[in-house]
Amino acid sequence: MNRFDERDTIFSRLELVPGSKQYDSYYTNRPELKDTDDRLRTLSAGVYAHDRSNMARIDSAFRFLKDIRPLAPGPAKAENSSQNAISIKEIEQGLHAAAMDYGAVLYGQAVLGLECFYSVRGRGPAYGKPVNNPHRNALIFAVEMNRGKISHAPRPEEAVEVTRAYVRVAVIGMILSYFLRELGYEARCHMDGESELILPAAAQVAGLGKIGRIGLLLTPDFGPRVRLGAVTTNFPAASFSGSNLNEAHQPADYCARCDLCARRCPGKAIPFKAALETGKVGLQNTTAAKKADTNVAPETKNSPWKIEHKACFAIWKKFGTDCGICVSVCPYGEAQ
Ligand code: SF4
Ligand code: SF4
């Protein structure tokens, strides 16, 4: 099983503090990445850094998310007699209703393969720990990001909307996890910065959409304008949504005819050509291939299109926001 090590993501690498044990250890193993990563680390705050009001909204949302990360895992309530008092179907209905009540627009249940899980954690206190989640049953959900606000990309108003979505989807994950724990089941929330899952891959399995050229999940009704969350659990769900995806929903075909995101990407991070044409066919079980693929976003490792994370992140640093131009221009889901 070929799984992605979260420590190789650009987000993990750029969190490493020069001089720390983790930094020294990582770049001892990956010396070829050190110079370019160090250069990214030292770039200035970005052209929109002066917008203190919006930047404070973004930073405060991420600080809040960081503060609630320790709540993502948690114990099931010891007394579980209520498990027997409510049917599986009723619990499923309750989970779905709760997700929608708290703002989800898409919801699915799936049994995930190990390829949806990172092999090793790369962020926060769990850095370097193997992912050994015993549960394959998962609830996956998405919130919509407002089209008008996303259209401000790459300005900070877009990033405010993205962080608002991260917060909403984390709250949904927490609520569903607490709900299941209340009923005596084990449940773990996967959210920004605290996820054992490659969320777009998991959402694809759950039938919420498919990964497109942009490297993000393209959903039938909202295109890439969603943020994803998930809960893994030992709750024995009886219904799974993976087959519910509309047969007509085929982003690969659509993206093959559309390259708008690639043309508008200021970092040239989105490929015009599919991987088979360029020879990049995803992670292979060789050290050389793994090194070559380090800058590919994990959710695109099995996709025909590989996103160059480093090139994208350099643009984020330049703007001081998460750019988002590709999401704002993508027509998928808008004219279906
Ligand atoms: S902009 Fe076009 S090519 Fe890019 S993800 Fe959207 S539909 Fe696909
Ligand atoms: S966020 Fe910006 S730089 Fe990154 S892939 Fe999208 S358009 Fe390109």
**pLDDT score, position 2:** 78
Q: Which tokens belong to 32?
A: 């070829």
pLDDT value of position 44? 85
Residue whose CA lies nearest to ligand 2 atom number 6? 326
Q: Which helix (H) or strand (E) holds 227?
A: strand 226-233
213 C-alpha vs ligand 1 centroid, how far in Å?
6
Amino acid letter, residue 104: A
Which numbered ligand comes closest to the C-alpha of 219? 1
- Alpha helices for the chain (secondary structure H): 10-15, 21-29, 31-42, 52-68, 82-85, 88-101, 147-150, 156-182, 199-205, 251-257, 260-264, 275-278, 287-292, 309-319, 325-329
pLDDT of residue 83: 64
Beta carbon of 325 within 6 Å of any ligand 2 atom: yes
Q: Where are the domains of the chain?
A: 6-329
pLDDT for the residue numbered 52: 93
Given this model, what pLDDT does residue 207 score? 92
Closest ligand 1 atom to Cα of 214: 5
Q: Which pLDDT score is estimated for 189?
A: 98
pLDDT value of position 284? 33
* Residue minimizing CA distance to atom 8 of ligand 1: 255
Structure tokens at 274: 């599919």
Task: Give ∠ CA 287-290-295 in degrees, rounded to 5.
Answer: 145
In this prediction, residue 282 carries a pLDDT of: 38
202 vs 252: CA distance, rounded Å: 18
For helices 52-68 and 156-182, angle between their N-to-C axes, nearest 10 degrees: 20
Compute φ and ψ for 102, nearest 5 degrees.
-90, 5
Give, using CA atoms, the residue closest to atom 4 of ligand 1.
261
Three-state SS at 124: helix
Q: How far is the CA of 178 from the centre of ligand 2 (A)?
A: 35
pLDDT of residue 287: 45
Please tell me the predicted confidence (pLDDT) of residue 283: 34
Per-residue pLDDT of the chain (336 residues; tens, 9 = 90+): 679 999 999 999 999 999 999 999 999 999 999 999 999 999 888 899 899 999 999 999 999 999 999 999 999 988 666 666 899 999 999 999 999 999 999 999 999 999 999 999 999 999 999 999 999 999 999 999 999 999 999 999 999 999 999 999 999 999 999 999 999 999 999 999 999 999 999 999 999 999 999 999 999 999 999 999 999 999 998 887 765 566 667 788 899 999 999 999 999 999 997 654 544 433 333 344 445 455 566 666 667 788 898 899 999 999 999 999 999 999 998 754
289/18 Cα distance (integer angstroms): 26
